[in-house]
Structure 1
Amino acid sequence: MLHVTQPVEAGVARVVLDLITDQVGRGWEVWLACPTDGWLPLAARAAGARVLPWHATRQPGPGVVREVRRLSAILREVDPAVVHLHSSKAGLAGRLAVRGRRPTAFQPHAWSFLATGGPLGAASHRWEQWAARWTDLVVAVSEAEASRTAEAGISAPVVVAPNGVDVDRWAPRDRAHARAQLGLGAEPIALCAGRLAHQKGQDILVDLWPSVRARVADSCLLLVGDGPTRQSLEAAAGPGIVFGGASADLAPWYAAADVVVLPSRWEGMALVPLEAMASGRSVVATDVDGMREALEPDAGEVVSAGDRTALADAVSRRLADSALCAAEGASGRSRAVAYFDVRRCAAVVGDAVAALAHAPGRSNSTSRSS
């Protein structure tokens, strides 16, 4: 089994590592091709995978030719039974390298054409439609993403495998202890954790935070993470906004929060709400793909993407009502344990790609012409 990914940190990397862990546990020989920066390569080796360097950037460009050539060399070296491509860059370079000559699964982790409009978005959409001929299986992380695949005219088979989290790792912790550990006080706290990027919508929270503080005095917004928009966010931030930086362990941050907020502009199925639910925290999120599947009304609130008033209202209501947060947190924990345990979710992918490897006529690199 060969996994290929360009993201080596944050949510995509976490999902890749979870799948590697499951597949190594099945006794498979698992390989990973990825850039050498970030925490994923070391973690994958520790989980039992063999790692090969694949230097790739996030964006398409002239470097794609070099990236395809390197993947072609890796394919010759590894000769995998199945290639599993993660996110848009691996999906582009990987399918150009494989060209249907061995079983190929593609997991978009949110379709790339959602990220941009105009000519680039249209080109991305056309590419995904065309590349479906080299895609034996699309792994969608939510029913919403699966529906979007069909609506976009991407005619590859689809399996839905919701993202999962380690419900033991993200077990609820004591709030007072976590706040003392992080140097925080007793003020009402909303947490937004994740990569600081346009997709994740932290700028929306920064803009509306004065209206939240007008209703809930001394409320604090914690932005934990790093990324390309950090400088602009810090320049725009007013009173009550604290930047926690990148963190290797989000558990104490979840424990310290009253409510966890995800103001994303697009997603496939984000991990942060699942981690927050498993941690026993109320969640407020925008209505992007996967969110209503993850978050039922008794565990928090989903508001229309782009409705800043509704988002501010939902956050303010919870910061002012600790009993509501506690009740939603308990419901969210129960739902996470019941439906989003990573072991169950990784098994769905493992079973699907095992079936792909053993499908008639798809057993080796010469099974289909380009």
Structure 2
Amino acid sequence: MSHASILHLTDDTTPGGVMRVIDNILNSKYLAKTAKHRMAVVKKNQLILPTAGVDVIVSHLALNWRNFAARARLRAMHPNIPMIHVEHSYTQGFVAQKVLNKTRFFAMLRSAFCLFDRVIAVSNAQKDWLIRRDLIDEDRLSVIRSSVELSGFEALPKPRTQARVFGLVGRLHEQKGFDIAIRAFRECSGPDLRLKVFGDGPLRDELEQLAYCDPRITFHGHCDDPLEPMRSIDALLMPSRWEAYGLVAREAQSAGRKVIVSSIDGLQDHISDGAIDVHDHSISAWSRAITQAADAVDKNRRTKKAKPRSGATRFEAEWEKCLESV
């Protein structure tokens, strides 16, 4: 699809993983060789396509019953334009934790996915769940794991051989399970251990109150520079209750940091790349994982050196292949 016009749609420009992934696509010099990628923000389900024309629409939009009519209208208005949807949100863990009427929810997803020529899962675990639940035909489903430019993370100095500073990075929200990590860290002995919390969100006051009695735990707010948290930690904790992929885990691994994840949803994809998995969300399990990481001496942990890339990254190659398929 040479020099095609690709329009990426989003309805949420909040700083975070989705916007960083879209920015990575828009700024890719490799993808720009064969297509022009643009972004449009959909507000109140209203969208008018650019007059210059669009060859492919890529949806990064939320799917639910409230906006289903608007998504169907978009499809009806542009029946001849191939449409791709990237499912950044829904997972098995989300459904288990947050969905009461699962039959109705699955009906919505099946109906919404039918509006698109292709759907992209952002992790292998999410793909397996979508197929297992018969939410989409496998031949219309691709997997492209979320990614950003990683050379800055690869170039960071090597961390300590023994983890002393642990980090939580992300939105302070129920999903991320930061309350679990804070309670577990408080159970760990070691006056030289530290837990740094990077991010903001609706649970900040509650989490600060939870950590109030432990001066080893500090809050640093949202960082515009994603490299900043990685510079100051030796290990990343991700006790998420649900997670489609977990981009920050990939960044931490690129920076040579230890990564400890709950074995849920897309976080399972990082285990094969070296992340340490915790099989449940109990305080005792996470306390043990933190203690073991702090006690372990890892002389071989390395930071990858950034190298100039002459060709496409895996992320770019997979996007190119997906766009060619429609």
Q: Is TM (by shorter chain) over 0.5?
A: yes
Which residue does the alignment assign to 1:149? 130
Give the secondary-structure state (helix, strand or coil) at the position aligned to 1:3. Answer: strand
Alpha-carbon distance, 1:224 to partner: 0.3
Alpha-carbon distance, 1:94 to partner: 6.1
Determine if contact 1:191/1:260 at 8 Å carries over to the other structure.
yes
Which residue does the alignment assign to 1:18? 24
Which residue does the alignment assign to 1:104? 83
**Match among 111, 116, 122 for residue 98 of structure 2:** 116
Determine if contact 2:169/2:198 at 8 Å carries over to the other structure.
yes
Which residue does the alignment assign to 1:368? none
Is it true that 1:167 corresponds to 2:143 in the alignment? no
Q: Deviations over 1:262-292 (max 9, x none)?
A: 1111112111110001111111011122323
What is the one-letter code of the residue matched to 2:38? W
Determine if contact 2:86/2:120 at 8 Å carries over to the other structure.
yes
Q: Counterparts of 1:223-262 in structure 2 under 5 Å?
A: 223-238=197-212, 239=214, 240-262=216-238
Determine if contact 2:163/2:293 at 8 Å carries over to the other structure.
no
Is it true that 1:306 corresponds to 2:265 in the alignment? no
Which residue does the alignment assign to 2:261? 285
Is it true that 1:136 corresponds to 2:117 in the alignment? yes
Alpha-carbon distance, 1:137 to partner: 0.7
Which residue does the alignment assign to 2:321? 351
What is the one-letter code of the residue matched to 1:345? F
Is it true that 1:83 corresponds to 2:20 in the alignment? no
What is the one-letter code of the residue matched to 1:242? T
Which residue does the alignment assign to 1:269? 245
Alpha-carbon distance, 1:346 to partner: 2.6
Task: Count residues in correspondence.
Answer: 303
Distance 1:223 1:94 in 2: 38
Alpha-carbon distance, 1:92 to partner: 4.6
Distance 1:93 1:223 in 2: 40
Unaligned runs of 5+ in 1: 35-53, 56-66, 179-185, 357-370
Give the secondary-structure state (helix, strand or coil) at the position aligned to 1:130. Answer: helix
Higher helix share: 1
Determine if contact 2:158/2:256 at 8 Å carries over to the other structure.
no
Give the secondary-structure state (helix, strand or coil) at the position aligned to 1:13. Answer: helix
Distance 2:33 2:264 in 1: 34
Distance 2:99 2:257 in 1: 34
Determine if contact 2:163/2:235 at 8 Å carries over to the other structure.
no
Distance 1:20 1:89 in 2: 23
Alpha-carbon distance, 1:118 to partner: 0.8
Alpha-carbon distance, 1:187 to partner: 9.1
Determine if contact 1:192/1:223 at 8 Å carries over to the other structure.
yes
Give the secondary-structure state (helix, strand or coil) at the position aligned to 1:99. Answer: helix
Distance 2:106 2:193 in 1: 42
Unaligned runs of 5+ in 2: 1-5
Alpha-carbon distance, 1:29 to partner: 2.7
Alpha-carbon RMSD across the aligned residues, in angstroms, is: 3.0
Distance 2:145 2:207 in 1: 31
Is it true that 1:220 corresponds to 2:194 in the alignment? yes
Which residue does the alignment assign to 2:290? 315
Alpha-carbon distance, 1:76 to partner: 6.5
Q: Deviations over 1:72-125 (max 9, x none)?
A: xx2374642111111525985763232262311111113165361213x55332
Distance 2:185 2:272 in 1: 25
